[in-house]
Amino acid sequence: MTAKLKIALLGSTGYSGAELMRLLVRHPRLDKPVLLSREKGDDCSDLANIFPSFSGNGSYPLQPLSWPLLMQQGVELLFLATPHAASRSLVPEAIARGLRVIDLSGAWRLKQAQHQAIYGFEDEDLLTAAELTAKAVYGLPELNGDQIPNAALIANPGCYATSVILALAPLLNAGIVDRQHGIISDSKSGVSGAGKEPTSRTHFVSVADNLSAYSVFYHRHVGEMVEQLKLDAGQMTFTPHLLPIPRGILSTVYVYLNHPMEPAEVESCFRSFYSGKRWVRVFPTPQLPEIQFSLRTNYCDLGFCLADDLRRLVVVSCVDNLLKGAAGQAVQNMNLMYGWGEEEGLQ
Amino acid sequence: MTAKLKIALLGSTGYSGAELMRLLVRHPRLDKPVLLSREKGDDCSDLANIFPSFSGNGSYPLQPLSWPLLMQQGVELLFLATPHAASRSLVPEAIARGLRVIDLSGAWRLKQAQHQAIYGFEDEDLLTAAELTAKAVYGLPELNGDQIPNAALIANPGCYATSVILALAPLLNAGIVDRQHGIISDSKSGVSGAGKEPTSRTHFVSVADNLSAYSVFYHRHVGEMVEQLKLDAGQMTFTPHLLPIPRGILSTVYVYLNHPMEPAEVESCFRSFYSGKRWVRVFPTPQLPEIQFSLRTNYCDLGFCLADDLRRLVVVSCVDNLLKGAAGQAVQNMNLMYGWGEEEGLQ
Amino acid sequence: MTAKLKIALLGSTGYSGAELMRLLVRHPRLDKPVLLSREKGDDCSDLANIFPSFSGNGSYPLQPLSWPLLMQQGVELLFLATPHAASRSLVPEAIARGLRVIDLSGAWRLKQAQHQAIYGFEDEDLLTAAELTAKAVYGLPELNGDQIPNAALIANPGCYATSVILALAPLLNAGIVDRQHGIISDSKSGVSGAGKEPTSRTHFVSVADNLSAYSVFYHRHVGEMVEQLKLDAGQMTFTPHLLPIPRGILSTVYVYLNHPMEPAEVESCFRSFYSGKRWVRVFPTPQLPEIQFSLRTNYCDLGFCLADDLRRLVVVSCVDNLLKGAAGQAVQNMNLMYGWGEEEGLQ
Amino acid sequence: MTAKLKIALLGSTGYSGAELMRLLVRHPRLDKPVLLSREKGDDCSDLANIFPSFSGNGSYPLQPLSWPLLMQQGVELLFLATPHAASRSLVPEAIARGLRVIDLSGAWRLKQAQHQAIYGFEDEDLLTAAELTAKAVYGLPELNGDQIPNAALIANPGCYATSVILALAPLLNAGIVDRQHGIISDSKSGVSGAGKEPTSRTHFVSVADNLSAYSVFYHRHVGEMVEQLKLDAGQMTFTPHLLPIPRGILSTVYVYLNHPMEPAEVESCFRSFYSGKRWVRVFPTPQLPEIQFSLRTNYCDLGFCLADDLRRLVVVSCVDNLLKGAAGQAVQNMNLMYGWGEEEGLQ
C-alpha cells in the first residue's frame, strides 16, 4: 500500500472550503488534512466551533499559515478556498516552494488581459504573475483532462461557468451552433453561491419567497465562459438569478443550430462528447435534469429540448454549486493530478 | 349613492378563485358575492371550511349553481374560476341569459383555430362557440382597454402570458424588435400556478430546494402570447420553470433590437406606452424588479438591461400570478366594464 | 366629515415600521403620514428607495426628526418603531410636547424594576422615567381595552408575548390553571421577528432547511408575559425557535388544569372571554389554527386540545408577528385611542 | 477477505426506502442489493426511473417479490420499507424461511396489546403474531444494543420516537425525573416524515410559509415512547408539528427534575449514558443542536438548558428523520447484527 498524500487547505470557513473539508477528510488516499487559517494567534481553534456538523468525529484544529511548517509537515498539495486577491498573492509563494496548488478562486482562471481586468489584481511581481497565468490549467476535467495530470497550478472553475461550459462545449466543438446568432444562458443559483458574508441581499427575508436577476451581462464568470468556449464576448448573454434555496444551479441555455437536426443527432453529439466522463450525466431527450437530481453529488446533469423547427435548442444543465461547481471539482482535479480514479472520494 | 352590483363567483375553492373571493368581498362597489358550487346537494357548505382564513368575518355559504336562482337574485356579472372545459360549456349558458362573464380559464382566450387546438374543446354548438370566440375580449387592460368596457365576455389572460406580453408589447408596438431573430422568455413561477390538486409534482419534497423546467416550447400560454403580440409561433421561445415559492412570476425576456438604441430611448419606449396605466410600474434602468416587490399587489413590474452593443436587451417582468396574473386582473377588468376607477378594490 | 388625524412615524425602515407604514397610508381616518428619519441631512430620501414595493403610488419622503417642525405640521400622534434605547430617550421628549405616542419597542412595556433590568436602560431623568412607566398602558386591547382610549403612551406588546398572553389570559382569568405546576410556551417565529440587520444567524443558508431554539428561559418577552398574566417568573417556561419562514408565530402552550374539565367547558371559557373581541378567532375544538390562517391579518387565532385525562391542555396560538404582533396591533390601539372602529384600516 | 452479505430491500420507492437504498449500495460489506417490488409484472423497472438521482452509476432493476427466488439468490437479510399492514403480513413469511428482517414500519414495534391497538392489525395467525411480537427487538442500538446482535427481527424505531427516547433515556435511567409531573415533547418534523403520497396536506402551497400542529396527544409514536421509556401513557404529552423543510426533526423536551441539580451534573448524566455510543453527540451546555447540524448524518444530537431554579430542564434533540430516524438506524442495526463497526456505511 502506497503512502497517503499530505495536503493542506486554507479557507475552510467559507461554504466551499467547508464542503471541500468534508470531502477531504473522507478521501481514502489522503492523510488527515492540515487546516490553515489566515488569522494569526489564539483564534485558531477547531473547525467544529464554526461548523458544529464537524463535531463528534475527531478534532479539526486550525493552524496559522506558515510556509516552513508546511514544508516540515510534508505537505505536497495546497487547496486554496480564499478570496481572489488572497489567492493571487499566495499562489506565487506556494509554487515557489514547490507545492502544487488547486485554487478555488477566480484568481488564475483567465488568460486574456481584457478578462483579467474584471478582477483588478495588483500583482507585486508582474513577470511571475504572467508566468503563472500561462502555466495555470483551467481545471474543468471534461475539457482539459489531458493537461491536469501534470499541472502545478489548477484554477478551479466558477460554479456558473461549469454549468454553462459543460452545456455548450459538445455543441460548439461539433460546430453545429450559429455563433453569430448569439447564445443565452439564463442561470439560477442557490444562495450559498453568494458567499457566507451576511448582507441585506442574503438575509432570509430578502431571499425567501423571492427571485431576482442580477449582474445582467456583466457577471465575472462570463470571462471564463467565453475564453474556454472560444467565443467573442458579445456572443454570450448571461443572466444570473438568485434562487430561494441554499444550493444548486440550473442553467437554461438557448442556442440556434446552424442547420436543422433531429433530436437523436443532438443527443448523440452530447453522448459522444461525454463518453467515458464519469461526472456528466446526459439525460435521454426529452427528459430534463432538475436541481434536486444533482444536489449533493459531483454530477453535471444535462438534458435538452429541440423545437419543431429543429433549429431552436434549449439545453438544461444542473450542478451543485458547492460540489461540481467548487469543492467536488477540486477533488476531481486532485484525483487526475495524482493518477487516481476520477470518482475517488466523491461517491 | 348608486346601488351596488350583484355578482356571482363559481370556482372559489381553487387558489385563483379564493384570491378573487378575497378581493370581491372587500370591493366597495359590490354587494356580498353569491358563491356558487358545481357540487350538488348537501356538500355546499361555507368557504371558511375550505379556507379557514375566511372565518371570523361573517359567513360565506356556497350554493349549487342554478341559473333561475341567479336571475332571481339579480346577479349581473358572473366570474368563472373553473377548469377550461367547464368554462367552455358554462359561458354559452350564462351569455344566453344576459349575464356578463369574466372567465379566468383559457377557454375563450384564443381566436385562431390552430391555437385553440391545444385545449381540445368539444363544443356542443359550434356556431355559438364561434360567435362567442369572436365576441370575447382578451382582458389585458393595458392592451385592450378600449374593448373591455362594452364586453359581454372577458377572457382573463393567463399568468405567464400577462408577464410576457406586458414585457414585449411596448417594444413590438414601437417596431424596434428584430422578430426574425426570435424572442425568448425564460419564465419562473411559484407553485400556486400549478393548481391546488395534490400531485407528486406539487408535493413539498419535490419542490423545495429544487428548480425544474417543464413544457419547453409547448406550454399552452404560448398561443395567447403570439396571438396578442402578432408573432409567428416560431418567433417565440418560452420556457417555464417551477420555483420553490408559493406565488409570484418572474419572466426574463430576451430580444434583439433592430438597430442600436440608448438605454434612455428604451426606457422612454416603456414609459410612453404605459403612461397613465395604473397597474404597470416601469423601473428606472438599470434597476430590476424582483418577485417580492409585486407580490400581493396587482402590479406588473418591468425593468431592463441593455448590453453595451446596444442591441441585446433583457427585460425582467414580475407579476403575482394570483393577482395581476388572475384574480386582480379580473377585478381590474370588472372596474373597466362598469366605468369604475381601475384601482378600486385593488389597493 | 371630520378632519383627518395627522400622525408621524419614526422608524419606517425596519420590518415592523414598513408594515406599519403600509397600514397607515391606507387608513381612512388619517392624513398622509409624516415619515421621520433619525438620519440627519441629505440621506433622507424616499421610502420607495428602501422598499421598492412602495413605488408607483405617490412619494414617501423621509424628513429628519425635528420637534418644532412636527408641532408646526400639526402632528398629534407619534408612532415609534425604533430600537428600545432610542424609544426610551425619545418618548419623554414627545410626551413633554403633548404628543400621544404608540411605541412598538420594549422600552415602556414593563412596570416592575426586576423585569426592566433586562433592557438595561440608562435614563437621564429617573423621575420622568418612573412617571412615564406608571402612565404607560400595555397596549393589548383584549386585556387593557378600557385604559387605552385615554392613554398618552401606549407600549405596544411584543410579538411572542401577544401570542402567549392571549392563549393564557382566559384560562388564568377563570382560575382553572394549576399555576404551581408551571406553564410552558414552546413558540416558533418567522425570521422577520429577528430584525432586518444582516447577521450570520439571519443568513438564508443558516435558516433554510433548519430549526433552532434560542434564549431558552431568558427571552426578554418573558417579562411582559409574567407581568400581564400575574405569574411568578418561575411559573413560565418559554422556549422560542427560529422558523425558516419570513413571518408568523405559532405558540404551543401547555397548561395543567386545576380539575378535570370537558372540552366544551374550555371552549366556552375562551369564547366568553373573547366575546365581542374583533381580532381574536377561537377555533372550535379540536380544530387548530396554523400560521398561514392568520398570516397578513391582524387576527390572533386560538385553538386547543384536551387530553383524555381532562387535565392536560394544549393551546395553539397564531399571530402574524408584524401585524397582531406589532404594526396591526399598533393601529388597533390607535383606533381605540380615537374612538374609531377597532377594525378600521385593518381589513 | 470474507464474502459479502446478500441482502434484499422491499419498498425502495418511498422516501425512507430510497434513502436506505442510497446507503446500502455504498456499504462496503454488502453485495449489490436485490431490489424488490410488490408490483407484479412489467412495471418492475429501474429505480433510476423513479429517482433520477440514482442514474449514471449502474442499473438498479426492481424484481417482483418471490420467496423462492430470494432463497435461490442467497439473500440472508431482508429490509422492509413497506406500510405497516404489509410488513405485518410479510414478516411471518420471511422469518419462516429463515431470513432475518429489519422492518422500518411500525408493525412490530409495540409489545403491549393496548398500544398495538392503534395500528389495528388483522393478523391471520395470532399465535405466530404473538410469538414474533415477543421475539422482535426494538432496534434502538443505544438502548437495546445487547439484544440486537442475535435478533431475527428488528423493529426499526419511528423517527419522532428516536428523537424523544434518546433525549429522555439518560434522565429516566438515572431516576432524576419527576414522572408524576409529566413530560412534554414538542416535536417538529420535515415533510418527508409525512410520506411520499401527494395530499392536500403535503402540497407545497399548504406547507410553505406555514407551521401546524397535528395529532396532539394521539400520535402513533407515543406508544413506542412510553413502552421503551417505561412511562404511563398519561405521563407523556407529545405534540408533533409539520415544518416547511424537506427533512429533519427537532424535539424540544420538557422535564421537571426530582431535586435541584447543577448543569454539570445533568451534562454528566448524558455523557456517561452515551459514552462509547458512536451516533449520539452530546453538546456542551448551553450549546444547543439545530436541525442543520445532524441533517444527512446518522447522528442524534442532544443539548439542554436548565432554568435557574435547577429543576426545569429543556432538552433539545435533533435527528434526520430519514437517517437516524429510519434508514441510517436500520443500517446501524444491521452492523450490530453482523458484528461490524457501528459506523460502517454511515460516514
For the stretch D260-319, pLDDT in tens is 999 999 999 999 999 999 999 999 999 999 999 999 999 999 999 999 999 999 999 999
Tell me the average pLDDT across C55-62: 81
Say if CB A94 and CB A103 are below 8 A apart: no
Cβ neighbours of residue B155 under 8 Å, at least 6 residues apart?
B103, B106, B107, B108, B109, B136, B137, B138, B139
DSSP state of B177: B
Give percent of chain C with pLDDT exceeding 90: 85
Say if CB C303 and CB C283 are below 8 A apart: yes
Is the model's pLDDT at A46 over the cut of 80? yes
C-alpha cell recorded at residue A347: 461517491
Tell me the average pLDDT across C197-218: 96
Maximum mean pLDDT: which of B110-119, C222-231, D12-21: C222-231
C-alpha cell recorded at residue B204: 413539498
Tell me the average pLDDT across C117-146: 91
Do you find a cis peptide bond into B286, omega within 30 degrees of 0?
Answer: yes
C-alpha cell recorded at residue A220: 465575472
Residue C330 has a pLDDT of 98
Residues of D recognised as catalytic: 159
Residue A81 has a pLDDT of 97
Q: List the one residue out of C78, C219, C113 whose CA is nearest residue C159.
A: C219
User: What confidence tens digit (pLDDT) does each residue in A236-267 have?
Assistant: 999 999 999 999 999 999 999 999 999 999 99
Is pTM beyond 0.90? Reply is yes
Say if CB D336 and CB D148 are below 8 A apart: yes
Residue with cell 460554479: A159
User: What confidence tens digit (pLDDT) does each residue in B139-155 have?
Assistant: 999 999 999 999 999 99
CA A66-A68-A70 angle, 5° bins = 70
Query: What's the CA gap between D161 and D228, in Å, rounded?
Result: 9
User: What confidence tens digit (pLDDT) does each residue in B34-50 have?
Assistant: 999 887 654 557 888 87
Query: What's the CA gap between D324 and D346, in Å, rounded?
Result: 10
Is the model's pLDDT at D1 over the cut of 60? no
Q: Concatenated DSSP letters for A140-188?
A: -HHHHTTTSTT-SEEEPPPHHHHHHHHHHHHHHHTT-B-GGG-EEEEEE
Is the model's pLDDT at D60 over the cut of 90? no
Please answer yes or no on whether B208 and D244 come within 8 Å at the CB atom. Answer: yes
Domains located in chain C, CATH noted: 7-156+326-337 (3.40.50.720), 159-319 (3.30.360.10)
Query: What's the CA gap between C244 and D246, in Å, rounded?
Result: 11
Give percent of chain A with pLDDT exceeding 70: 98
Query: What's the CA gap between C95 and C104, in Å, rounded?
Result: 15
What single letter denotes the amino acid at residue D345?
Answer: G
Catalytic residue at B300?
no
Contact status of D201 with chain C (Cβ, < 8 Å):
no
- In whole numbers, what is the pLDDT of chain A averaged over residues? 94
Q: Which value, in Å, is the radius of gyration of the alpha carbons in chain A?
A: 20
Chain B residue with CA closest to A311: the answer is B234
Contact status of C202 with chain A (Cβ, < 8 Å):
yes
Please answer yes or no on whether D295 and C252 come within 8 Å at the CB atom. Answer: no
CA D303-D304-D307 angle, 5° bins = 165
The backbone torsions φ and ψ at residue A137, rounded to the nearest 5 degrees and listed phi first, read: -105, 130
A contact test, residue of C201, C204, C291, C321 with most A CBs within 10 A: C204
Tell me the average pLDDT across D33-62: 78
User: What confidence tens digit (pLDDT) does each residue in D167-225 have?
Assistant: 999 999 999 999 999 999 999 999 999 999 999 999 999 999 999 999 999 999 999 99
What single letter denotes the amino acid at residue D110?
Answer: L
Is the model's pLDDT at C41 over the cut of 70? no
User: What confidence tens digit (pLDDT) does each residue in A282-334 have?
Assistant: 999 999 999 999 999 999 999 999 999 999 999 999 999 999 999 999 999 99
Query: Count of residues for chain C?
Result: 347
Strands A249-256 and A280-282: unpaired
In the three-class reduction of DSSP (H, G, I as helix; E, B as strand; rest coil), residue D73 is classed as coil
Tell me the average pLDDT across C127-150: 96
In the three-class reduction of DSSP (H, G, I as helix; E, B as strand; rest coil), residue B294 is classed as helix
Q: Give the DSSP H or E segment for C95.
A: helix C84-96
In the three-class reduction of DSSP (H, G, I as helix; E, B as strand; rest coil), residue B165 is classed as helix
pLDDT-based confidence at residue A45 (cuts at 50, 70, 90): confident
Residue A44 has a pLDDT of 53
pLDDT-based confidence at residue B121 (cuts at 50, 70, 90): confident
The backbone torsions φ and ψ at residue C225, rounded to the nearest 5 degrees and listed phi first, read: -60, -50
Say if CB C30 and CB C24 are below 8 A apart: yes
Q: List the one residue out of A111, A96, A158 whose CA is nearest residue A329.
A: A158
C contact test, residue of A13, A51, A196, A205 with most C CBs within 10 A: A205
Say if CB D132 and CB D95 are below 8 A apart: yes
pLDDT-based confidence at residue C329 (cuts at 50, 70, 90): very high
- In whole numbers, what is the pLDDT of chain B averaged over residues? 94
pLDDT-based confidence at residue C18 (cuts at 50, 70, 90): very high
Say if CB B283 and CB B301 are below 8 A apart: yes
Give percent of chain B with pLDDT exceeding 90: 85
C-alpha cell recorded at residue D45: 423497472
CA distances from B150 to B334, B341, D19 (A): 11, 16, 60
pLDDT-based confidence at residue C4 (cuts at 50, 70, 90): very high
Please answer yes or no on whether B296 and C296 come within 8 Å at the CB atom. Answer: yes
User: What confidence tens digit (pLDDT) does each residue in C251-290 have?
Assistant: 999 999 999 999 999 999 999 999 999 999 999 999 999 9
Is the model's pLDDT at B77 over the cut of 80? yes
Chain A residue with CA closest to B296: the answer is A209
Please answer yes or no on whether B290 and C209 come within 8 Å at the CB atom. Answer: no
Residue B1 has a pLDDT of 54
Contact status of B239 with chain A (Cβ, < 8 Å):
yes
Residue with cell 406553564: C183
Smallest Cβ distance to C250: which of D184, D211, D307? D211
The backbone torsions φ and ψ at residue A87, rounded to the nearest 5 degrees and listed phi first, read: -60, -40
pLDDT-based confidence at residue B12 (cuts at 50, 70, 90): confident
The C-alpha of C19 sits at a distance from chain A's nearest C-alpha, in angstroms, of 14
Please answer yes or no on whether A202 and C207 come within 8 Å at the CB atom. Answer: no
Residue C38 has a pLDDT of 82
Query: Count of residues for chain B?
Result: 347
Query: What's the CA gap between C301 and C293, in Å, rounded?
Result: 8
Give percent of chain A with pLDDT exceeding 90: 85
Query: What's the CA gap between B50 and B21, in Å, rounded?
Result: 13
Task: Say what the ipTM of the complex is.
Answer: 0.96
Smallest Cβ distance to A199: which of C198, C205, C244? C198
Residue B42 has a pLDDT of 44
Residue B112 has a pLDDT of 86
Could you tell me which chains touch chain D, where touching means 3 or more CB pairs under 8 A? A, B, C
User: What confidence tens digit (pLDDT) does each residue in B180-237 have?
Assistant: 999 999 999 999 999 999 999 999 999 999 999 999 999 999 999 999 999 998 999 9
Residue D39 has a pLDDT of 75
Is the model's pLDDT at D254 over the cut of 50? yes
Is the model's pLDDT at C13 over the cut of 90? no
Is the model's pLDDT at A42 over the cut of 50? no
Say if CB C323 and CB C296 are below 8 A apart: yes
CA distances from D3 to C34, D6, D26, D30, D319 (A): 80, 9, 16, 9, 33
What single letter denotes the amino acid at residue A32?
Answer: K
**Which residues in chain D have their CB less than 8 angstroms from residue A209's CB?**
209
Beta bridge mates, A276? none
Smallest Cβ distance to A290: which of B182, B212, B216? B212
Residue B41 has a pLDDT of 55
SS (H, E, C) A36-83: EECCCHHHCCEHHHHCHHHCCCCCCEEEECCHHHHHHCCCCEEEECCC
Query: What's the CA gap between B79 and B104, in Å, rounded?
Result: 8
In the three-class reduction of DSSP (H, G, I as helix; E, B as strand; rest coil), residue A221 is classed as helix
What single letter denotes the amino acid at residue B245?
Answer: I
Query: What's the CA gap between D342 and D332, in Å, rounded?
Result: 6
Is the model's pLDDT at C40 over the cut of 70? no
